[in-house]
């Protein structure tokens, strides 16, 4: 396959009249690029598993059941990194972003288990809306290196396939893309603090983890509460869960 096949797919997706056609065309191009497995999913909200969020998927046999049964989503570094990633990223980069996280060993275990099912490495292409991340395309298996242009085109394909599938299934209106008054354009540091707060850590504990003062943590939290229009820290966490910013 080549660049032209990716460009052509963007046109073909628009012309598809059935969800099954979108799924088939997407799978064909993904596999032609060397990716063995993939999933196009809504961003899983708190308490939702990946099987219920999938619009199209082709994973190793048994892996979805293991993933859900062992509650890997709670420690999956790619899902956590997706919450504040603005651009496509590789799975291994998602893990590397949490080297100082207290749950890093658990994240390594998740990635090791995935590797045992043939999911060695891959890419995630986030799909954003005004209220934050709405979904994503994940493609991987054996390591595949994409050029910057190919990454850009796959990113566009992920968005087009996501919205086209929802449209053909009559579900596009069900995807909430706005919560009045809240600004969810958070920085990476704000997302880190918010995630730690959701895990029950105090300002002092978060400060030690990030090697900043607890007063600086409080300063970030005041900014987070303003952005999320939250009355207090607990309300900020609740709003973040509702937006899908943390899981």
Q: Domain spanning 188-243: which CATH class is it, in words?
A: mainly alpha
In whole angstroms, give the CA distance from residue 216 to residue 49: 35
3-state class (DSSP) for residue 240: helix
Q: Determine phi and psi for 86, rounding to 5 degrees.
A: -95, -15
Q: Which residue has the higher pLDDT, 207 or 188?
A: 207
Of the candidates 222, 177, 185, which has an alpha carbon nearest to the alpha carbon of residue 203?
222
Q: What pLDDT, on the 0 to 100 scale, is given for residue 178?
A: 45
Residue 35 in contact with residue 22, Cβ under 8 Å? no
* Mean pLDDT of the 94-115 span: 92
pLDDT tens-digit map of 59-83: 999 999 999 889 888 889 998 888 7
Q: Is the pLDDT of residue 1 over 80?
A: no
Distances, alpha carbon 148 to alpha carbons 2, 31, 154, 157, in Å: 13, 19, 10, 14
Could you tell me the end-to-end alpha-carbon distance of the chain, in angstroms, rounded to an integer? 36
List the domain boundaries for the chain: 3-174, 188-243
In whole angstroms, give the CA distance from residue 193 to residue 216: 11
Q: What pLDDT, on the 0 to 100 scale, is given for residue 179?
A: 44
CATH architecture classification, 3-174: 2-Layer Sandwich (3.30)
């Amino acid at each position: 396959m080549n660049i032209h096949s990716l460009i052509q797919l963007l046109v073909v997706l628009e012309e598809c009249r059935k969800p099954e056609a979108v799924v088939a065309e997407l799978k064909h191009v993904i596999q032609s690029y060397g990716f063995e497995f993939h999933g196009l999913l809504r961003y899983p909200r708190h308490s939702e598993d990946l099987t219920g969020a999938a619009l199209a998927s082709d994973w190793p046999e048994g892996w979805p059941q293991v993933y859900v049964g062992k509650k890997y989503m709670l420690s999956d570094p790619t899902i956590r990194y997706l919450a504040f990633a603005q651009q496509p990223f590789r799975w291994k980069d998602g893990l590397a972003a949490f080297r100082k996280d207290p749950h890093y060993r658990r994240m390594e275990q998740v990635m090791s288990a995935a590797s045992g099912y043939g999911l060695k490495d891959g890419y995630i292409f986030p799909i954003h809306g005004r209220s934050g991340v709405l979904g994503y395309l994940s493609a991987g298996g054996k390591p595949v290196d994409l050029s910057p242009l190919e990454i850009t085109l796959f990113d566009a394909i992920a968005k087009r396939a996501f919205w086209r599938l929802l449209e053909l299934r009559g579900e596009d209106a069900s995807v909430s893309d706005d919560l009045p008054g809240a600004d969810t354009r958070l920085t990476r540091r704000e997302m880190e603090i918010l995630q730690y707060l959701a895990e029950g850590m105090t300002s002092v504990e978060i400060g030690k983890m990030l090697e900043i003062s607890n007063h600086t943590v409080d300063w970030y939290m005041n900014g987070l509460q303003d952005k999320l229009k939250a009355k207090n820290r607990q309300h900020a966490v609740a709003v973040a869960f509702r937006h899908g910013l943390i899981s």
